[in-house]
Structure 1
Amino acid sequence: MLKKTLSFALLATMCLGAMVTIKAQEGMMADPIWESILITPDNTKLKILGENMRKHNQKYHKEGPYSVTVYTISSGPNANKMVWMMGPLKFADLDGRPAAGGHEEDWRDNVMPYVKKVESGEYWQQDDKVSNTGMLTPNVADYPILAVRYWEINSEHGHGLDRVLKQISDAVKAMDGVNPWGVYENLFRQGNLGRHFATVSFSKKWAEFDEDPKFKMAFEKVHGADAWDAFIRDGDQVFDNSWDEIWVYDKNLSGD
């Protein structure tokens, strides 16, 4: 229990949170959505894959809701894989997504032959009410390093998640400095895969990981020192599991 409690405290200190899969079922779909896929490249063909993917993205995914950003995963079990992400968009935009004009053929003939595996096709919706992303610009290069945390929510205690999330959000927004942080819901059921939600901290440089964000100090300032222990207990009940990945923006492969 002590190990789990300390683990959750560390998660909170890193300014990451989560929530349950309810909004999609209630029809609340106003917040922006991103489509993502996980790509395992053929490491013996990285040069030609990079050249062809860049050409594809610049031709078919350069702007608007179909713009694509590519990240390389640098930590965790998916290290050295790529995340191909399109958006922000609405589901209605998918009815007009690039398909004609050679799009499908180009992806099939010039990208897929150099890819070992494509998996985890998912749709992620940002929760604008608790996210702190107003300072982000369309220029992904401003914050090229993403600390992504996936969360698995306990099926019996998910009802307490909104309270935990609100507490984290209020504390993040009260921290000194600029602290972009987003909460993203996986819109379709994942079964036992556990990728229910992801939270993201955006960084300009790696050196920021050496800094103490002083989350606990901000939390106690907002909620009171006596609220911390209850916050830790709630988190221990709400979250069954979590794991991290660090993503690094790859401008060369993206559509911008």
Structure 2
Amino acid sequence: MLLAPLLMLSQDNAEYMVFENALLTPNPTQIAQFEKGIAAHNKKYHSEGPYGVRMYWISNGPNTGSYVWTMGPFPWSSLDNRPAQAAGHDTDWNLNVAAYMTPESGKQSYWRFHNELSRFPKDFTIKNMLVDYYDIKRGKAKDAMKLIEKINKAYAEKSPNETYGIYTNEFGSSKEGRDLAVISFFDKSAWLGEDNSISKKYDDMYGAGSWDQFLKDWYDLTDGGESEVWIFHPELSGISGNVKVAERQ
């Protein structure tokens, strides 16, 4: 996530980095109480380090109006020391956040960040994100990642300023169908209507007809997907939207 915030994107960590996402849906009659509670909770318990949290609002699709609570990035080992009941974390969450959510709210997922397949050419501030989910067919994950390697090289050479991250679901479900997430970061909504000419750029790099072949191969490896636009809400978050991109080693 997709999806999600990024801090210090270096490759010298012994453990890979993941994000914890929770889909939160407030009771429609208690949105103000929910926002007040989640803002205070995040600023108290999730304002730094691997437990830092950013909040996003989903603006389209079946989850419109819900929020995504995103913690990380962090190595799996850091979860052993996350804020717990002893510090009042759980009680605060139950009384001031969960009390204002719908019963089906709170679905969680964990996403592995793939630095080597992502493009973060410079420091930036998160504002809006286009989150594209893909359902990868069983046994085809390695083939899908090989195609992503090819398109990542095309972007690196032909569109070096594009900013996006590649993530894979650590606990994917064939029922849910969200195995891979491509997150594109943008400031203005006009970006959504722009033609980035990736088909021409891809053909220029790999030869005429290469883009059509890429699409055919991609469709053979996937069972569809879906897209959401997430809007960052700094006032509800524990950390800012500033992303410092560490030098690649």
TM-score range, shorter chain: 0.7 to 0.9
Structure 2: segments with no counterpart, 5+ residues: 1-12, 240-249
Match of 1:120 in 2: 107
Measure the CA separation in 2 of the matches of 1:165 and 1:177. 16
Distance in 2 between the 1:91 and 1:175 partners?
35
Partner in structure 1 of residue 82 of structure 2: 97
Q: Give yes or no for contact 2:57–2:233 (8 Å, CA) kept in 1.
A: yes
Do 1:160 and 1:234's aligned partners in 2 also have CA atoms closer than 8 Å? no
**TM alignment of 1:49-88, pairs within 5 A:** 49-88=34-73
- CA, structure 1 residues 158+42, in 2 after alignment: closer, same or farther (shift >3 Å)? same
Give the SS at the match of 2:204.
Answer: helix
Residue among 238, 241, 245 paired with 2:221? 238
User: In the alignment, which residue of structure 2 is the partner of 1:192?
Assistant: 175
User: Which residue number corresponds to residue 143 of structure 1?
Assistant: 126
Matched residue of 1:195: which SS? coil
1:30 Cα deviation from its structure 2 partner: 3.3
Conserved? CA contact 2:121–2:161, under 8 Å? no
Q: What TM-score do the two structures reach when normalised by structure 2?
A: 0.85
Distance 2:117 2:65 in 1: 31
Does the aligned pair in 2 maintain the 1:175–1:214 contact within 8 Å? no
**Which residue in the other structure is 2:25 paired with?**
40
Q: For this pair of structures, how many residues does the alignment match?
A: 225
**Is 2:236 aligned against 1:253?**
yes
Q: How far apart are the structure 2 equivalents of 1:29 and 1:195?
A: 27
Task: Could you tell me which runs of 5 or more consecutive residues in structure 1 were left unpaired when the two chains were aligned.
Answer: 1-27
Asked whether the 8 Å contact 2:121–2:160 carries over to 1, the reply is no
8 Å contact 2:134–2:179 — kept in the other structure? yes
| Contact 1:157/1:237 (<8 A) preserved | no
CA distance in 2, matches of 1:240, 1:192: 12
Q: Deviations over 1:92-146 (max 9, x none)?
A: 1101101122111100111111011323311101111111124244xxxx23110
Deviation at 1:164, TM superposition (A): 1.3
Residue 249 of structure 1 aligns to which amino acid in structure 2? Answer: F
Partner of 1:190, secondary structure, is coil
Distance 1:203 1:215 in 2: 17
Question: RMSD between aligned alpha carbons?
Answer: 1.8
SS at match of 1:207: helix
Shift, 1:159, TM fit: 4.4
What letter corresponds to residue 88 of structure 2 in structure 1?
A: G
61-70 vs 115-124, which deviates more?
Answer: 115-124
Richer in helix (by share): 1
Matches of 2:29 and 2:38, distance apart in 1: 15
Provide the C-alpha distance between the structure 2 equivalents of 1:191 and 1:228, rounded to a whole number of angstroms: 28
TM superposition shift of 1:177: 5.6
**Paired residue type of 2:158:** M
The match for 2:9 is none
Percentage identity across paired residues of the two chains: 32
Q: 1:157 Cα shift?
A: 4.2
